Homo-oligomer: A and B are copies of this chain.
Amino acid sequence: MKESGRKLGALSPCAACKLLRRRCAQDCVFAPYFPADEPQKFASVHKVFGASNVNKMLQELPEHQRSDAVSSMVYEANARVRDPVYGCVGAISSLQRQIDSLQTQLALAQAEVVHMRVRQFTSSSNYPGAMDMAVDQATMGESLWSC
């Protein structure tokens, strides 16, 4: 949490009060999170959520959670400014596609390992039941990866 802007008190209004052209009070709810030297942070959340909604959301949270809430709102607002149609939901869809692809690749690699273990074990063993043991050993290995 940046409090540097606050130290100067009424002499230096925070970025929010500066943009809203209002007096920055000693107990301004925005000041600890929107220092005067980072005007873009407040400009984005103001454009997307509106100053009054940001104020309300911060007031409804305990102080120790406000800094994280501001960071996530700034992230969300910047994503919406960059992509007005999908905002950060676009990032969620892209990450979900990446997860689907990784899960497919992992399933293929794990199947390949099971297949190779079975082949390796059966080619080096001639006694009955070797195939069952090989499959057990291969799937034990597989369950270790998922830990």
Contacts from A to B (Cβ < 8 Å) = 47-50, 52-53, 57, 60-61, 65, 68-69, 71-73, 75-76, 80, 84-92, 95-96, 98-99, 102-103, 105-106, 108-110, 112-113, 116-117, 120, 141, 145-146
Contact = CB atoms under 8 A, between A and B. Distances in A.
Contact of A91 (B90, B92, B112): B92
Contacts of A69: 84-86
Given A57-B84, A61-B85, A85-B72, A109 B99 contact: no
**Copies of this chain, whole number:** 2
Contact of A48 (B53, B60, B141, B146): B53
A136 B47 CA distance: 55
